[in-house]
A = this chain, B = another copy of it.
């Protein structure tokens, strides 16, 4: 029985979880900024768009000021993960930690900070953050969850059921890696290219008619990523090239957060996305020259400020 959930990191995804789960559980929110926590305690959290909610939540920058949760949903950006976990080390003794981050490797970083049971998750929902206390729910696609290490599958199902009861879409999978890798290969092919070119994820990314068309690069990146997945024994859940083509046909072009991060001169999520793919490729002896090129370029751009 899941009574208390803590959302760690209230960006778009964290806010969508908090706003919905507060219908069925007691929800607390661990924020990075005190003003953010104060605003949530004062005004609550509003969700608009695909669903309408107004949730009361208890928020703080200090985990010890929050009730110990049964489940913590870790939804920071990759760049904020270690900072958030550092504050948590001796807190939340009975929580199942559920990681919902881009890329690979968040679970290992959680494990470095404590012995909690861990559930892996990957989400395909999206939204827009209008303020500290208002998030718009835009794409009502699924969140998939799977066990990490020896977490029982029943625990994963219990968390998925709670998310579904709150009005979001979710599914428990015995093995999350095929879905996690599909999203990794997709993100690694799209996000750094958007960040370096300044293009949103638009039809350029699927164009292959002319030799100069950007789709050739994206396709080459996808092929390298699939080769790494195959070498790692992963049978991908979705084909990342088809995910790319479908997403560019959706009408309004998405601005990947890596592009927004580079534009704002913030550190990007390159390490957990491209970095984890390149390191896995090196362990498996797979050549990924296109990904390495993007990795060095984004790293250099981060250093150029």
Contacts and interface: CB of A to CB of B under 8 A. Distances in A.
A124 interface: no
A252 interface: no
A54 interface: no
Total copies of the chain: 2
B212 A304 contact: no
A294 B296 contact: no
Nearest to A218: B296
Contact of A214 (B199, B290, B299): B299
Interface of A: 193, 196-199, 204, 212-214, 216-217, 220, 289-290, 292-297, 299-301, 303-304
A296 to B, nearest CB: 4
B217 A296 contact: yes
A260 to B, nearest CB: 15
A217 B274 CA distance: 15
Contacts of A303: 199, 204, 214
A300 B214 contact: yes
A3 to B, nearest CB: 44
A196 B198 contact: no
A293 B296 contact: no
A198 B217 CA distance: 21
A212 to B, nearest CB: 5
Nearest to A290: B293
Given A196-B297, A196-B301, 6 more contacts: A198-B301, A204-B303, A214-B300, A214-B303, A289-B290, A293-B293
A82 to B, nearest CB: 17
